[in-house]
Structures are given as C-alpha cells and as structure tokens.
Structure 1
C-alpha cells in the first residue's frame, strides 16, 4: 500500500500540471478574499474574506503542515506573485548576508508583531484591517521578488514560512534523494534548474537535504533529476525531530515563541480575560489597552522561554553540555505539543464558527442571514477533540525528547536521562493547556 502511495506521489510531482493545477485556483480565491476584505461588508460576521481567512484557512493551515509538509508554500498566492514579479521585472540579486544570518529572528519578530497588532488594533474583527495587512504583505513580496533571486521572501522573511518550517519537521511526508544515485551524479539541475522546470525556489540542494523545513514539495527537482533519484515518501510523523544533526538556537526559540503565542491567543478569548485586564489596569494605574495587553503579552511569551531555559539548565547538569546547546537541541521537542495546542485552539474556531463561511459566501450574492448558531459541532465534542489532540501532542513531544537524548548521548544512563527535565516541562505545559481549554472561550467574529 505504501509503495503505491509513493509511486502516486512521485508521478504527481513529475506531472507538468503540478503544482499549477493547485496554484492558480488558489490565487483566484485569494484575489476574491482580498477584494472582500477591502471592499466587502464592513461587518466581520458577513464578510467572506474574514470568514475564509480567519475561520477556515487559518484554522486548517497547521493541519496541512503536519500532513503535507510545506505543500501550502508551493501553491501560496504570495509565492505565485513572487514568481510572476521575478519573471517580468526581477533583478535576481543574491540574498543579503544579514537575511541568511538573521532570517529566523526576523520571522520571530514579525510573527510576534502581527499577533500584537491583531489584539491591539483588532485586525481579525476588522475586515479593512485584515485587508491592509494583506496589502502590506503583498508589497513586501513584490519588493523581494523584484530585487532578489528565487523565493527570498518565502525562505527568509515570511512568518507563515517560519511556522510551516517548524511544523513540517513533523510532517508525514518527506522528499529526499537516493544516496546511492546522488553520490555518483555530477548534474546539478535539481538545484540550478533545467529544461523541464526552474531550480529549487527555496535554495535547497535535494541531494544533501535532510530536513523538511525548507522544502515546499514544488516538484521542480523531481522533474529535473536525470537519474530518477528524488522521491516523495510517507514516514512516521515527528521522526525527523529525533535526529537533527545541527540544532539551531533560533529555530528552537521559534518553537517556544509559537507556544507563547498560542497561550496569548487562548487567554484573550477566555471569559476571565476582562476581569484579569481590569486588575492589571488597577495595578499599572492605566486603562490603556495597548499597555495592559503588551504587559500580559510579554509575560505569556516569557513563561515558556523561562521554563525551557530552566529545563535546559537541569539537563546540562546531567549531560554536561552547555545550557545554550540543551536549549537548542531539546527545543525541537516542543514542536508536536506546539502543533497540538495550536490546532486545538483552531478547532474551536473551525467547528464553533464554521458555518459563518457558508453564510458569508451567500452574503456576497445578497442573501444575508444571521443564524442563531454558526457551530458545526457541539462544545462537548470540540472539547473531546481538543483534549485528544493535546494528549497526542504531549506524548509525541515527550517521546521526541527521549529520542533526542538517546540519539545525542547513546546509552549512557546519566546523559540519556537528561530528557527527564524536558518531560516534566512538557507535562506542565500540557496541563496548563488543558486548564485553559476547560474555560469558556469567545468566538473570533
């Protein structure tokens, strides 16, 4: 069965219709969404762009990363726009060194900034605000595509690309070259491009690639390979996280940042949020929402960072590596729990507000309706799904921490047991997530 799936996937990637058959319909829908955000109904309840972006697309996008890796990045409208701009006015300049060096940190900053703007300026609740964000992103893509080679924006600047890069490490698909064939090959068409397709848009050399983090499954290398060496195959989710040879502090830090952002998204949707905000206003002596939210935002973001640092300190006592190395190495273990918490949060929006996508689509054609409920599933069913996700994510993260310790330190008991502080950390974060999801949440639109 798996062999048949692998053959089907390879034939799909080699097809001349791929990925265009997915890319251009996606671009068309995206154009409608942007138009609706900018010129459609000003009410988020009736705006198709708001519903499609924040109720449907943003809710399911983490799941696509787990199942299909960075496939979204192959068909993303921003990537399509970048390719078009490069074709007609691109200067194809090399990527600046500072982007190569600090790209992940820029992505961290942009992800934090967009989340902060969402809560302070009400981006989600305001279709025009969402539209402006889209225009700003489009502007960045155009500038990047006009000046720099390949998909510089997608690789080094896109906050969603950073998120997908982390989650896709846990994906159930992987694209790799066959070592026996690639070692003998002297052709570089898989990277530079050839007659059948352009070169790798994400600056990856498939014959040496060992991670999903930068691969968008565009299929260009598969089309260009003269030896039929590169294949897309099914694998065990999260397996890649167990054997990362060169852990990076910035990538581990992004995993922790995602955890903090999920906490923020959940906390601000709780019924107790208004009460907590009032107490903070009294403590700070101000009723400025931007100030009070920034304080809570900073605290919520700092908690998982501080906890991982503490676990890394304890871990360093056992395996004798530096705290910095422990932070970088075991930070990847948070990714399955990151995904579970993120997806559990999104399940609420998808199934508690999912019908709003249908009704807002009708409103584009003049059929306005305000049903008593936009829920697809009952709150009890959604909670069960959320807790199941959290359990699977916690189990995946704890096991990943164990495998990281085992692959890094072998069978030495003291060093292998250095995963224990991280197991405790992951259990604490899971319990915190469970407590938050037990509390009533507000709808997004």
Structure 2
C-alpha cells in the first residue's frame, strides 16, 4: 500500500508539472504580492514594526524559505517574482547571449560573496529594520535580474548570481523531493528536448540536462522538461531527506564553503540579537581602541565567518591523517555533511521570528485598511514552545549531519578509514550544535 501510495503521489506531482497552468497559476499571484510588498516598503509606513512589507518579507517569507527548500526543493525558484521578471524581460527585449565564461567558472563563488556581503550590509545599515532599506535592496536585486535577463540567455541570474539560489541549491540537496530522468529511457534519446525545449515549453532555464542530472541543487521544478520529454521519462518522487548528500560524485569546494559560511552567518544573526551583544561590542572596541560600531561589527563578522571555516579545515586535516585524502579534499567532501545542521540552525533562528512575531502579519495587514491593534502581542505561541521546537530541530540536524558524514565516509573509504574519518566530524558537529544551544538559551530581541 505504501508503494502504491507513493506511485500515485509521484504521478500526481508529475501531472501538476505537466499542466499548462503550471507554474503560471503560482507565478502571477506571487508577482502581485511582490508588487504590494515593494509598494509598502518604499512608500508605506516607514517604521518596520508597522510595515506590512517588512512583516511579509522578514517575518513570513525569509523564515519559511529554508523549510520550502527542504520539503519541495527549489519550487520557490519556479514561482519567484525575480525569475518571472527575468522571463518577461527576456521575452520582450532579451538578447539571449551565452553566459560569460567567468560566470560559469566563478558563479558559485560570486553567490558566496553576495551572501556574505548582504548579511554584512544588513547589520551595518540596518536593512531588515528599515522598510526603505529593504525596498532598496529588493530594487537593486530587481535591477540585476533585469540586466541579466536583457543580455543573457535563460535564467542566468538564478543559476549564477542569485544568493538565494545558492542557499536553495545547498538545502535542496537535502530535500525530500527529486526530479530525475529514467536512465534506461534517456540513454536511447537523441533529441535532448528536455534541455533544448520544444513548442510546448522552453528548454531548461537552469542549463541542466534532466536526462543526466544526478542532483537537485539546480532543479527548480518549473516543469518544462516534463512537458517537453517525448518519452515520458521524467519522474518526480519523494526520498529520504539528506540522502543525496551521501553520494555526491563531484563535490565542489565552493559549495562546501557556502555550507560552513551559512553556519557562521547563523551565529552572527543569533549573537547580534542577544543582550550580551552590547558587552561583546564594548570588549572588541576596547581591544581595537575604537568606538566605531561599523568597524567593531565588521571585525566580529569576520571572526564569526572565519572560526567555523578554520575549524572545518582543522577537522578535515585531522581526518586526512586517517584516510587517503588531503585536508582540502576532505573539506570539500564533508562540508556537505554540515548542510542538515545548517538548515536546523537557520530554521531554529527563523522560528523565533515566525512564531514570536507571526501575528504582525495580521496586524500590519489590517492596518492597511485602517484597523489597528495597538499593544497586542505579536507572538503566535509562548517562548517555551519556541525553545522546544528549536532544540528539536537542532537535535534532528545533529543526527542528520553525523549520519551524512558517516555515509560520505562509507562511500569513499573502507575499514578503519571510515571510523577514523567520522570521529573528527562528529566532534565538530557536536561542538557547533553545543554553541547553537548556548545561544538559544539566551534572551533574544524582536524585530516587530
């Protein structure tokens, strides 16, 4: 019965992707909501606490986006308003030039850099706490999308430049849904309609060959390949979350680096919301002999980025003493094992905003119609519930990361090499989660 249910579920998902209404039925409402959010951020109430655009962006969308990536892969990327704008620009004024070689080679590194830069800029200029700042950030991203869509083919921005796409790629590897071609059928196909496109739908916007695709990092479930495949070869199926991480054939340093960078960013986001952050700033200021808060934060930010990366490299060096790979190769292979813990820490942090400030969506939405709820609590549940869910997420992420490290080691080494490799990464994972637990024990400040 379970197998039959899975087959029916897979067929249902496939039928949805094949429908002529998909993904447009989701794209256009999302684009309209995006337009409302942009209006509110740029010309609405200038106070974040009362701004509907701020609530929608930072209390709802940003907190749940990691969960979307885990449950349904890069589905968001199929309906993302930036992607829709890119498609429209390309349709009417696009030159459809080939992607520059430097973007193909360094795209993920650029994504890593943008992710770090935007996080740094948020804390320096208070983007999240400022509706106008958030609006300007979205305008800048929209400008980049329009330029990329006007000059280059397909979704160049989404594949090689979007910092959210980088996050999506990492988390989707651990996701519970996958789209694949059937090897036996695809091996006999010589038309490559899934990549090139047909009159039914464009070719893969993410420059993927679905018939040979072996990972979910860049599949956005747009459904174009399902519509185009002449042999009905494409399958959509559920899988064990994190399973893809166990058998990555071509690990990339830049993707593992992003995984450890996300860990550092989560640390920064947590620490700067704590009451103890004031004491940390004063201490760093005294060491540097400066009162400049921008300099102080920048130094703290660099330290928060560097410590997890250096710790992972040290762990990889220790593992290299027990296996046949050098430290850099171990860093590249086992950085992926941290993705489940990344997700858990990221989602645990976001739960605070979603659950402690969730009613602000209702309050700011009603305020658009002149209905005010002054003094009402924005919390959806009590802090005890939030803390319990945070610890549950961290526990699941810890187990998943340790098990992923074990499976990666088992697929690459034999005998004592496996145990000798897993132990250092287990210790690293436990140390990282212990620090996360400590941070979540401390009181945090609200955004709304």
TM range (shorter): over 0.9
| Corresponding position: 1:354 with 2:358 | yes
Q: 1:416 to 1:279 in 2, by over 3 A?
A: closer
Residue 215 (structure 1) aligns with: 219
| Corresponding position: 1:140 with 2:157 | no
| Corresponding position: 1:430 with 2:433 | yes
Partner of 1:146, secondary structure, is helix
Matched ranges for 1:248-263 at <5 A: 248-263=252-267
| Corresponding position: 1:394 with 2:415 | no
Residue 443 (structure 2) aligns with: 440
Residue 299 (structure 2) aligns with: 295
Q: Post-superposition shift, 1:373?
A: 1.4
Residue 70 (structure 2) aligns with: 66
| Corresponding position: 1:181 with 2:188 | no
- Counterpart CA distance in 2 for 1:356 and 1:303 is 35
- Counterpart CA distance in 2 for 1:112 and 1:198 is 33
- Counterpart CA distance in 1 for 2:312 and 2:103 is 27
Q: Post-superposition shift, 1:372?
A: 3.5
Matched ranges for 1:273-422 at <5 A: 273-409=277-413, 411-422=414-425
- Counterpart CA distance in 2 for 1:304 and 1:164 is 21
The answer to whether the 8 A contact 2:49-2:447 is kept is no
Name which of 7, 18, 36 aligns with 1:3. 7
Q: Post-superposition shift, 1:195?
A: 1.2
Partner of 1:208, secondary structure, is coil
Partner of 1:53, secondary structure, is helix
The answer to whether the 8 A contact 1:92-1:149 is kept is yes
| Corresponding position: 1:82 with 2:86 | yes
Q: Which moved more, 1:367-376 or 1:254-263?
A: 367-376
The answer to whether the 8 A contact 2:322-2:420 is kept is yes
| Corresponding position: 1:45 with 2:52 | no
Deviation >6 Å, runs of 4+: none
Query: TM-score, normalized by length of structure 1?
Result: 0.99
The answer to whether the 8 A contact 1:405-1:417 is kept is no
Q: Post-superposition shift, 1:416?
A: 4.7
The answer to whether the 8 A contact 2:124-2:294 is kept is yes
Name which of 235, 242, 246 aligns with 2:239. 235
Name which of 236, 249, 255 aligns with 1:245. 249
Matched ranges for 1:18-29 at <5 A: 18-29=22-33
Number of residue pairs aligned between Structure 1 and Structure 2: 444
Q: Per-residue displacement from partner, 1:153-182 (whole Å, max 9, x unpaired)?
A: 000000000000000000000000001100
Partner of 1:45, secondary structure, is helix
Q: Per-residue displacement from partner, 1:326-347 (whole Å, max 9, x unpaired)?
A: 0000000000000000000000
Residue 264 (structure 1) aligns with: 268
- Counterpart CA distance in 2 for 1:265 and 1:117 is 13
Residue 158 (structure 1) aligns with: 162
Structure 2: which 5+ runs fail to align? none
Q: Post-superposition shift, 1:251?
A: 0.6
- Counterpart CA distance in 2 for 1:195 and 1:264 is 48
- Counterpart CA distance in 2 for 1:29 and 1:189 is 33
Residue 102 (structure 1) aligns with: 106
- Counterpart CA distance in 2 for 1:408 and 1:285 is 49
Partner of 2:400, secondary structure, is helix
The answer to whether the 8 A contact 1:190-1:205 is kept is yes
Q: Post-superposition shift, 1:412?
A: 2.1
- Counterpart CA distance in 1 for 2:208 and 2:421 is 33
- Counterpart CA distance in 2 for 1:108 and 1:444 is 26
Q: Post-superposition shift, 1:415?
A: 4.2
Q: Post-superposition shift, 1:83?
A: 0.2
Q: Per-residue displacement from partner, 1:72-98 (whole Å, max 9, x unpaired)?
A: 000000000000000000000000010
The answer to whether the 8 A contact 1:82-1:145 is kept is yes
Structure 1: which 5+ runs fail to align? none
Q: Post-superposition shift, 1:369?
A: 2.3
Q: Which moved more, 1:268-277 or 1:69-78?
A: 268-277
Q: Post-superposition shift, 1:419?
A: 1.7
Partner of 2:20, secondary structure, is coil
- Counterpart CA distance in 2 for 1:413 and 1:303 is 29
